Amino acid sequence: MLRAWVAAHSFLVMDSTFLSSIKLDYIRHDICRLTMDVPGKSANVLTDEFFAELDATLESLAADPPAGLILISAKPSIYVAGADLVKISRTLDWSDQQIIHFCEEGRRIMGRINQLTSVSVAAIHGACVGGGLELTLWCDIRIASDHPRTLLGLPEVKLGLVPGWAGTVRLPRLIGLEPAVELVTTGKLLDSSRAQELGIVSDVVPQDRLIERSIELIDEQLESPNYWSQRERLAGPVTKLPDDITAFQAKVQADIDCGREVHPQAPTIALEHMVRTASLSAVQACASEAVAMSQVYGSNENAGLLHYFFLDERAKKTRPQFKNGERPDIQSIGIVGAGWIGSQIIRLSLAAGFQVTVYDADQKKQERLVHEFSQPGMTKGTLLGASELAQLSECQLVIESVVEKPAIKRQLFESLNSIVSEQAFLATNTSTIPVSEIAPSVSRPQRMIGLHFCCPVEPLKLVEVVRAEQTSELTLNVALDFIKRIRKTPVIVGDRAGFVVNRLLCPVSDQSIQWLQQGLTPAEIDAPFRDFGFAVGPLEMIDVIGVDTIMYAGETLLRYFPNDVSVTPILPALVRRGRLGRKSQKGFYQYPDPAGPAVEDPQLTEILQKYQTTAADGPDPGQLVERLLQSMVEQGERLLEEGVVKDSRDIDLCSILGTTFPVVRGGLMYWAEHLR
C-alpha cells in the first residue's frame, strides 16, 4: 500500500509546479527513506508548510508502515536548522494558549514517528539544532556523520526561548538529567564524537556510510526489538538523576546567574521545569514544557535576542563581491604600529594564515612582539620584523595603527606612498579621523580605506569599514575579504568623523567625565551601566580603549562637533601621569593583573580633587543610565539623518559589537523603539 502511495505521488518529485520538501523512496523492500530537502533553500527549516507535509507523510506511512524508516537530509551542511524564527518573530504577541498550542502541534506531528511500528533512524549529517534535534529525539536511533559540520544541540536559550517540542523531556530521559540540563541551559553545540559519548547518537560514521549503517541498525533491532522497551522507558520519568538533586539545581542556577553569554531568564525557567518534572511521566513533562515556553515566548528578552539573530544573519551577507578575475590573492600584510591595537590585529592576521611584516619606531617593542608571536605552533601565519619602513614594500595590504593624530597619520602615509607598489592597498585604523583627511597624502586614494578595529580588538567583533568618496569598489571588496578572513564582522559606514561607534560613545564619555568633576566616583558611574547589561561602564571603557586614544579622538570630534564635546583637564592630567588605562595598568582604575578585573584606585581621588566641583543639583544615580542612553539614541538619530549609515539596524549591530550594548536588548535603536 505504501509503495503504491509513493508511486501515485511521484509527481511530488517530477512536477516542477509543485515543489516538495519531503521525498519518500524504498531503498530495500521493507525500508523506506524519508529525505528532507526544502526547495530553493540552503537549510531545512520547520516551517508551517514543512510541518504540514511531514504530518501528511507520516500519516500515509502509518497506514502501511515499513519495517524501517530512515530520516535523512539532502542538504550539504545542514540536517534540520530548527524552528521557523521568522514566524516566531512575527508572533511575539501570541497568547499563552496560542503558544501552548504551537508546542502541542509540533509534538503531535513529530510524535507520529514514535507511534509507527517501524524502527526509525535519524541519519544526521550537518547542523542538527533546536527543533531539528528534537525531531531526531522522536526517532528510535540516531547516528551521525564524522564531518566537522555535524553539530548537535538545543541552543534555544540563546534566543530567550526553551525547547518546545519535547527537547527538555526526551533528552534527559535518554541521557540523564545532568548532561541534558547542561545542554539546555547553556545552548552548547556538540560534535558527533561528544554526542556519541553522551548517548545522544548511537554511532558515528563517514557521511557515505550513513544509509548503510542505518540499515544495519534497523536489522539489529528487527532481530532483537529493544526499541520497544526504550520507547516505554522514554515515556516514563527520568531514570538517571544526580545524587542530590537540590544541590545540583542550586549549582546550575549559580552558573546561570554568573554567566554573561546567555541571559538568565530562559535557562532559569528551563532548569526549574526540568528538575520539577524529572519524576513525572513524559506526557506530564511535555505539558509543563509548553507552559515554560509560554513564559518566555514574546518576552522582551526573546524579542531582543531574535532581533540580534537577524542582525547577525544580515551582517553575514555583507561580503566581498568581486568581478570575475578581479579578486587579488592577498597573502602578505604590513602592520605599522606594534602597540595595544596593532598587536591584536597582528594576532588575528597570523591566526588567519597571513604573512605579516610589522614595523614600529620602537624597535624593542617590535622585537618583543615578534618573539612572542614566533613560538612554534602558535599561529598559522608567519611574522617578520622590519628595521625600516621600506621593508614593507612587498606587502599587498598595509594597515596603519599609530597614534590618533591627523598630522602623524598623514606623514606616515606620505612615506608609505613612495614605498609600496601601485597594486598595494592601504588602510588606516582611524577611530575618529575621516579618511578624506588622510587620503590626500597618497597618490592613489582610490586604493585607500578606513578600518576601525574596535578596542579591545580580539573580543569585540566589529570593524567599521570607512569608505571615503575616492575609495574604489575593488578596495572595498579587498577590505571586506580581509575582515571576513580574520573572522570579524564588517559594517560599512560613511566617512564622517567618529563614524558610528565613537559618535555613540562620545557623549557618554563626555558626560561621565563631567560627573566625575561633580564629585561622583568611577564606580558610581560605571556600576549602573553594568547593571543595565554593558560589559563595562563608560569610564572602564575609556581605560580599555586607552585614555590617550580617547583624548586624541576627543580633539578630532571637538573640531567637527564643538557642541557635543566638552574640554576637560582630566584626560590630559591622567596622560601626563602615564595613566593610559589597562595597557599601562592604571587609568580611572588600577589593574594589578593586566588581564584581571578593574580595581578602584585611591590615588585617582587625589588627582581628581584638583578638578572637582560639587554641584548642588548633581545627578541622581538612578537616572545615570537613562540620561546616557538618551544621548546615545540622539546620536543614533543624527547618524541616520547625516547618512553615515542608511539603516538603524547598522547602528544596532555597531552598538552591540562595538560598545558592548547588551545583546539581549536587541541593539540601541531597537531598544529605544520597542523595549524601552
Catalytic center residues? 134, 156
* Cell reading at 89: 518573530
Helix (H, G, I), strand (E, B) or coil at 260: coil
Instruction: Provide φ and ψ at 654, rounded to 5°.
Output: -65, -40
**Helix ranges (DSSP H) in 281-405:** 282-296, 300-316, 340-351, 363-373
Residues 6+ apart with CB under 8 A from 439: 445, 448, 468, 470
Residue whose C-alpha cell is 519531503: 22
In residues, how long is the chain?
A: 676
SS3 (DSSP) at 236: coil
Which grid coordinates are listed for 343? 598587536
Question: Could you report how far apart the first and last alpha carbons of the chain are, in Å?
Answer: 59
Beta strand pairing call for 462-467 and 397-400: unpaired
Output the nine-digit C-alpha cell for 164: 518546545
Q: Which residues in 348-418 belong to E strands, given as ranges?
A: 355-359, 382-385, 397-400
Q: How far is 216 from 155, CA to CA, in rounded Å?
A: 31
Cβ neighbours, 10 Å, residue 177? 21
DSSP letter assigned to residue 675 = I
Q: How many CA atoms lie within 13 A of 102 on its CB side?
A: 23
Dist. CA 559–CA 121, nearest whole Å: 67
Cα–Cα distance, 372 to 365 (Å, whole number): 11
CB 57 within 8 A of CB 69: no
Can you tell me whether residue 499 is helix, strand or coil?
coil
Instruction: Give the span between the Cα atoms of 397 and 423, in whole angstroms.
Output: 9
Torsion of Cα atoms, 72 then 75 then 77 then 83, to 10°: -80
Phi then psi for residue 169, to 5 deg, are -105, -55
CA distance 487 to 462: 10
C-alpha closest to that of 374 among 399, 338, 350, 344: 350
Q: Is 539 helix (H, G, I), strand (E, B) or coil?
A: helix
Round to whole Å and give the CA distance between 330 and 209: 39
Sign of CA dihedral 375, 381, 384, 389: negative
Q: How far, in Å, CA of 223 to CA of 107, rounded?
A: 29
Amino acid at 218: I
- Distance, in Å, from the CA atom of 41 to the CA atom of 553, rounded to the nearest integer, reads 45
- Which residues 6+ apart lie within 8 Å of 527 measured at CB? 537
The secondary structure of residue 671, as a DSSP letter, is I
| Alpha helices (runs of H) in 138-189, residue ranges in sequence order | 167-175, 177-186
476, 481, 483, 486 alpha-carbon torsion, rounded to 10°: -160
Q: Which three-class secondary structure state does DSSP give residue 259?
A: coil
Q: 403 — phi, psi (to 5°)?
A: -60, 145
Q: How far apart are CA 58 and CA 6, in angstroms?
A: 12
Please name the helix (run of DSSP H) or strand (run of DSSP E) that holds residue 670, with its range, or none. Answer: helix 668-670
